[in-house]
Structure 1
Amino acid sequence: METITIENVLNSKPLVESGTFQGTGSPALIQPGQSVTVSFAAAKGEALSFATMYGWSNDLFFAPASPGIAVYGSDGTPIEGDVSGQIKLWDNGTRINQTPGASVNHPGTPDNQAIKEVNGVDAQGNTYAPASKLVSAVLKYNGNSTFTLTLTNTSGGTTNPTPLSPGVWSVSYIVGGNLLMPNPLYTAGQPTANGLTNIAEMGDNSKLWAYVQSITGIFTPLSPVLVVVYNGIDNPIYKIGEADRGQGLKYLAQRGVPDTLANYLKGLKGVKAVYNLAASGTRVLLPVINGAAGSKVSQDIKVVKGDRLAIATMYGFSNDWFFATAGNGVDATVMGDLSATIQLYNDGTAIDQFPGAGVTQFNLAGTPLTENLPISVVPNPNAFTTLPPIPNIIKVSLQ
């Protein structure tokens, strides 16, 4: 008797995407009348956050209220047009505010307050035009869950002309309807942190960007795992270069449901055993989250010489990607770590989007859009992102 164990060992990150923006001059300020763009992908419920300094202040910054600018309506329709009303002006709380303008003395007198919205008047009685009059934000939907946000410095000609500093932006993953990081850059009512002060006081985005980069990356659950023991036949789950056979792999690859394929394989000549392994409680195998171990499943199997073994499980935050044993499986009697034999494949049955930020991804409350391509290896880097090595995502061992 042997035991196969499959684990989600991914050291997950809470932000799906992030980046920086800046003007074209030296220093790279965004002067009145100038614009910058931010391009990103997002799923329903995800939002775009950013921060940029009100340059002619001691420690004020512009940012949307958390969790950021909503990019879909409640019905999943992409939002386009002017979203300037979602931009707010904030006091970082680390300096006493002087009258805003070119003569502000930097850095100024220290203060020790929590981050607070400036709604017309700051704590020192200085007045400000609405943030939406100083910074314009316009959303454009580019299709396939991708957007472009254009930020324009519209402060020229107002009572508060100011340059804007280089900034940082981010998009959080949404899992089970909840954002993993609803306050990625700041938290209203709390002290500033993670390098935001450098933006708010000096217009230096490097420290906050380093922090944001450190928490941007991959998050994905794995679906219940299909494990097959067979003899005398080729890998019965799939064959690279062929189209999905219509036996149920599509449901595993798109929805994380292996039941249809498992039932088909149980009646296939040469298949000796089929197991459908789901994690207790959630069913899916969650990754490592904030240091807490990821999920794993195990199954005792009985094999003899000549038997082969193959597995398949969905890359949960994709349209139709699945991990599977490469080629004709592995010798089911060879013990040890089998992770190096696992490959990531595209089932070719659904149009791909940014993993974890696609509005048609089934596990993000979407409906996959059909395509008809042969099964292929997912390249790395791919058109959307760079994935960790596969053994750093899924571990398969036989003992």
Structure 2
Amino acid sequence: MKHYILKTLPVLFAGAFLASCKKDNNNMPTQPNTITIENVLDSKPLVESGTFKGTGTPPVILPGQSVSFTFSAAKNQRLTFATMYGWSNDLFFAPANPGIQLYNEEGTPISGDVSDQIKLWDNGTRVNQAPGKNVMHPGVAEASSKNIKEVTGTDDYGNTYLAASKLMKVTLTYNGNSMFTATIMNNSGGTVNETPFSPGVWAISYVAGGKQLLPQPVYSADMPTANGLTDIAEKGDNTTMSTYLSGITGIFTPLSPVLVVVYNGAENPFYKTGENDRGEGLKDLAQKGNADILAAALKSKAGVKSVYVLKDATNTVLLPKINGANGGKVSQLLNVAPGDRIAIATMYGFSNDWFFATTGNDIEATKKGDVSSSIALYDDGTAINQFPGAGITQFNLAGTPLEESKPIQLVPNPNAFTTLPAINNIIKVTLQ
């Protein structure tokens, strides 16, 4: 649970190629300048996480009460959570890993009762007394801590339990646009296992290449407890686990193969804020990460001297930093003359139609050093936005974008879904 690794990541974006064209610039003397684009994002494996609790004092969820929370998710993402079986020494409820299924194989959102996916688990740190309101907390510590184990009918001490689905009812409601509401109802009242539920935690992992980056963020069956789960299982205190999950929740995105254009002119040759997408291929770059169409269109434009589509030699896409490893990087030697400008564009891979691009008058081609301050994040206005990295219609999460037609504009930060890192903490551009 403490580490995650992306072992394999199939090509996420439509086919990329290296294209170039060169034109004379009135015989102006040229000089070499190498452009390097890097994905410097310190990525996180969880796209969302949070907490839940009851409304009373203490904030437990009593029999007959319920609690709800809302989240976004794409196909293959799962919901997991944990909450204490309050009248026990160290038992907790949680879905079987990798979590509650949210879409069927066809990509249709799942709604209704999903309680059969919930299990009861023994944290393995306390001797189990007979469950009930007379349980003494914290109780006797196990002589040596045991691994987390599912409780099926009876525990290691002969105490009996109903199935978790008889004590807890979990329902999903699909709100549209990849958003769900999960409701946890305490149905234990009047049963032999009546119990309050403690404040808990929940999480959603990113998916890349069809695989969850962190499929077991809260617990791992048959492994020792970790990261504050003991505080939930023994005391109903979700503080430590919440802090841990928050620390691994954030942004994960690859960058698509990078379009680099050298031109001599007064303005960027492929987009302008406040105008709609020109239908020349920027849409394909912004939605699918495919710069090929736009590159081909730019070759014949007046003032355009060179066009390149740069792809990472290993992954095609530029991956972010993962487990401390450097992110993807591409470079290209350019021959430029005074007065030339450089424009670039690359897709924010886990979005509907966001793209990074040079701003204003782009980059002076003979400049040297870090020019990342010239980059901004734009919404192409051609697809309805969803939570980045958790949208069912995002192309790189096996979806089909829902079309819209709006002017290109800057992506606000914070935006309607999340707060992104500073641009220079995602993409770095240097000239040397």
TM over 0.5: yes
CA displacement at 1:38 relative to structure 2: 1.4
Does 1:52 pair with 2:88?
no
Q: Deviations over 1:266-291 (max 9, x none)?
A: 11110000010000121000000010
CA displacement at 1:144 relative to structure 2: 0.3
What secondary structure, in the 3-state scheme, does the structure 2 residue paired with 1:33 have? coil
Does 1:368 pair with 2:401?
yes
2:319 to 281, 286, 310: 286
Does 1:262 pair with 2:285?
no
1:166 to 199, 202, 210: 199
What secondary structure, in the 3-state scheme, does the structure 1 residue paired with 2:283 have? helix
Partner of 2:215: 182
Q: How does 1:236-315 map to 2 (within 5 A)?
A: 236-315=269-348
What secondary structure, in the 3-state scheme, does the structure 2 residue paired with 1:302 have? strand
Does 1:127 pair with 2:160?
yes
Residues of 1 paired with 2:225 and 2:205: CA distance?
A: 19
CA displacement at 1:253 relative to structure 2: 0.1
Q: Which letter does structure 2 place at the counterpart of 1:321?
A: W
Q: How does 1:18-37 map to 2 (within 5 A)?
A: 18-37=49-68
Does 1:232 pair with 2:269?
no
Percent identity of paired positions between Structure 1 and Structure 2: 67
Q: How does 1:188-203 map to 2 (within 5 A)?
A: 188-203=221-236
Partner of 1:86: 117
CA displacement at 1:68 relative to structure 2: 0.7
Q: How does 1:380-395 map to 2 (within 5 A)?
A: 380-395=413-428
Residues of 1 paired with 2:106 and 2:77: CA distance?
A: 14
What TM-score, normalized by structure 1, do the two folds share?
A: 1.00
Partner of 1:75: 106
Residues of 2 paired with 1:196 and 1:36: CA distance?
A: 20
Residues of 2 paired with 1:53 and 1:45: CA distance?
A: 27
Residues of 1 paired with 2:161 and 2:213: CA distance?
A: 33
Q: Which letter does structure 1 place at the counterpart of 2:257?
A: P
Partner of 1:346: 379
Q: Deviations over 1:206-262 (max 9, x none)?
A: 000000000000000000000000002410121000000000000000000000000
Residues of 2 paired with 1:238 and 1:119: CA distance?
A: 60
1:15 to 43, 46, 51: 46
Residues of 1 paired with 2:383 and 2:360: CA distance?
A: 23
RMSD: 0.5
Contact 1:55 1:165 in 2 (8 A): yes
Residues of 2 paired with 1:98 and 1:188: CA distance?
A: 21
Partner of 2:391: 358
State how many pairs are aligned.
399
Residues of 2 paired with 1:305 and 1:364: CA distance?
A: 42
Q: Which letter does structure 2 place at the counterpart of 1:272?
A: K
Residues of 2 paired with 1:139 and 1:302: CA distance?
A: 57
Residues of 2 paired with 1:307 and 1:237: CA distance?
A: 16
Residues of 2 paired with 1:258 and 1:210: CA distance?
A: 40
Contact 1:306 1:331 in 2 (8 A): yes
Q: Which letter does structure 2 place at the counterpart of 1:187?
A: S
What secondary structure, in the 3-state scheme, does the structure 2 residue paired with 1:226 have? strand
Partner of 1:99: 130
What TM-score, normalized by structure 2, do the two folds share?
A: 0.92
Q: Can you give the 5+ residue segments of structure 2 that lack an aligned partner in the other structure?
A: 1-31
Contact 1:227 1:310 in 2 (8 A): yes
CA displacement at 1:88 relative to structure 2: 0.3
Q: Deviations over 1:93-116 (max 9, x none)?
A: 000100000110111111210000
Q: Which letter does structure 2 place at the counterpart of 1:315?
A: Y
Residues of 1 paired with 2:266 and 2:402: CA distance?
A: 33
Q: Deviations over 1:71-92 (max 9, x none)?
A: 0001100000000101100000
Contact 1:227 1:274 in 2 (8 A): yes
What secondary structure, in the 3-state scheme, does the structure 1 residue paired with 2:181 have? strand
Contact 1:145 1:353 in 2 (8 A): yes
Contact 1:266 1:274 in 2 (8 A): yes
Contact 1:52 1:63 in 2 (8 A): yes
Partner of 1:219: 252
Residues of 2 paired with 1:147 and 1:5: CA distance?
A: 40
Contact 1:233 1:270 in 2 (8 A): no
Residues of 2 paired with 1:206 and 1:169: CA distance?
A: 12
Contact 1:239 1:327 in 2 (8 A): no
Residues of 2 paired with 1:348 and 1:83: CA distance?
A: 36
What secondary structure, in the 3-state scheme, does the structure 1 residue paired with 2:121 have? strand
Q: Which letter does structure 1 place at the counterpart of 2:246?
A: Q
What secondary structure, in the 3-state scheme, does the structure 2 residue paired with 1:190 have? coil
Residues of 2 paired with 1:232 and 1:202: CA distance?
A: 67
